[in-house]
């Protein structure tokens, strides 16, 4: 975000918060779900979502709206 969009350091850090917050929230949720559904199912689903988010991000242009980036970060988390 700093290089492509020209945001400052603090501004970029604030804009990356959705991925950090989703990682924190989904790590707790994932641990609870792993106890119910099993570790393989949860890890497999997580890796599938991560791969899907990387595929989606790889197809973006530099002008994609920030709200789309937020959804991608949440999916990545």
Confidence (pLDDT) at 56: 93
pLDDT at 3 over 90: no
For 49, the token pair is 């979502």
Phi, psi of 62 (to 5 degrees): -75, -10
C-alpha angle 58-12-73 in degrees, rounded to nearest 5: 40
Q: Using one digit for the tens of pLDDT, what is the confidence trace for 26-76? A: 888 888 888 898 889 999 998 999 999 999 999 988 889 999 989 998 888
Rounded to whole angstroms, the Cα distance separating 58 from 43 reads 22
Question: Is it the case that residue 77 has pLDDT exceeding 90?
Answer: no
């Amino acid at each position: 975000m700093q290089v492509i969009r020209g945001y400052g350091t603090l501004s970029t850090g604030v804009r990356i918060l959705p991925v950090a917050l989703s990682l924190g929230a989904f790590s707790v949720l994932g641990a609870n779900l792993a106890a119910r559904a099993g570790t393989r199912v949860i890890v497999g689903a997580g890796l599938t979502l991560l791969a899907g988010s990387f595929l989606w991000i790889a197809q973006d242009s530099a002008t994609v709206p920030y709200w789309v980036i937020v959804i991608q970060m949440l999916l990545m988390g």
